[in-house]
Amino acid sequence: MTAKQKRHLNTGLKIACAVLAIIGFGLYGDLSANTDETYEGLKLFSDVIELVEKNYVDQIDSKDLIHKAIQGMVQGLDPHSSFLPPEAFKELQEDTKGEFGGIGIVITMQKGILTVISPIEGTPASKAGVEAGDKIVKVDGEATKDMMLWEAVKKMRGPKGTQVIITVVRDNVDTPIDFKLVRDIIPIESVRAKTVRPGYGYIWITNFRDSTTEDLLLALQQLEAQGPSLKGLILDLRDNPGGLLNQSVQVADLFLEKGTIVSIKGRLRSNTKVFRAQPDETPRAYPIVVLVNGGSASASEIVAGALQDHKRALILGETTFGKGSVQTVDTLRDGYGLKYTIARYYTPNGRSIQAQGISPDIFVKRQAASEDNAEEEQAPMLKEKDLKNHLEADPKTPKDESESETQSDEKSPRRSNRHGPLDEEVLKSDNQIKRALEILVSYDIFKSLQS
């Protein structure tokens, strides 16, 4: 064996040991059984690692280099897949549990820039005026360009009462804006309800967490117990970024008696499943109008699509975000995690929402809260199709990369802030809620005329 071959062998063993230390030995058999092409690719990777270790201008930590290589590989798959170091994995687990100290925003990376998808109502960011579409360029003075998403999240989270300064660039504003935010406990409350008119209820689901279905059921029972009997319901899913798949299925099931709610289809049989509705102890026959917009994503789109396909609800508002993919998180050794896409989801009629979204039955654009702001030029709302490396709706459809680098044509007004308990007058001033209420009242009038 030549000296060069020995170096290749040593480097290859180092890489194999480092990778297996992270991922675990369960994958080794699959790697060994792969094609010559994969083997040649690993040899090329080994060559690069060896050259960088030997000749790079500064001393390189091989393990750190391999971590970055894995992260780059996974991020190249789609915008929702990522390799998670222990601290990032812990942050992700906290997200689904509910409470954590932070400022209250849903964010993504667009072209390497940290971008706000939507602020969470009632949180420090929302109260301070952070808006969807804002680009966060600094956190406490540190530039965020090309920062990993989990790193940015970690910097903005922290104990309640501590301060963080975020600097944002906003379309149509000449200079960056500094927001001095005092962190708070981001509430797990995801359901709020209010009677907007005798016999007509309004329920706002802000996200889908562990307790969402339970909270929604309680809200429905309270509305249904009030007199007169419930004649119609407005279900608000606007700016709801999604959350847990099982919660979206259970929420839709509360309004459906039978049939498919959503199906997920992956390359593997184990990642293909159909979720079906079950009869409810309390049938709910009253009409429903579901409100959606460009900030309604993922689990929100599952609920809207299911109710739309079953003709159980009228969908009103603007086209949704278009996230129709399913992610899973596998635990790796030493606290690492791997979040990656395993399937696309489809509505009961077989529609893929990926990069397309749910189109409303009635398109109603959100209007500014006051006439003073009615003419204000608004920035386009970020959509799934704008994200780099986004999946297409059909796996057989070639990806149009040019589209992923453009903004959506659809413009959506900034939503007005609604903090604390829901106020009936504030709700009635919302043009989309007003339109939904008019539809429900008109339906009841026509029904009484026919009888």
Question: Which residues have a catalytic role annotated?
Answer: 298, 309, 323
Cβ neighbors of 146 (< 8 A, separation 6 or more) are 112
What is the token pair recorded at 355?
Answer: 């990069």
Amino acid at 41: G
Phi and psi, residue 361, nearest 5°: -70, -40
CB atoms within 10 A of CB 261: 25
Answer whether 236's CB lies under 8 Å from 292's CB. Answer: no
Answer whether 170's CB lies under 8 Å from 177's CB. Answer: yes
Amino acid at 225: A
C-alpha neighbours within 13 Å on the C-beta side of residue 399 = 17
Distance CA 347, CA 420 (A): 34
C-alpha neighbours within 13 Å on the C-beta side of residue 243 = 26
Cβ neighbors of 185 (< 8 A, separation 6 or more) are 99, 100, 101, 160
Distance CA 339, CA 332 (A): 10
**DSSP H helical segments within 24-60, as ranges?**
28-32, 36-55
Answer whether 18's CB lies under 8 Å from 66's CB. Answer: yes
Distance CA 128, CA 165 (A): 12
Give the dihedral sign, CA 213/214/216/221.
positive
Nearest CA to 325 out of 55, 37, 8, 77 is that of 77
Cα distances (angstroms) measured from residue 183 to each of 133, 155, 189, 325? 21, 11, 17, 31
Q: What is the DSSP letter of 185?
A: E
CB atoms within 10 A of CB 107: 20
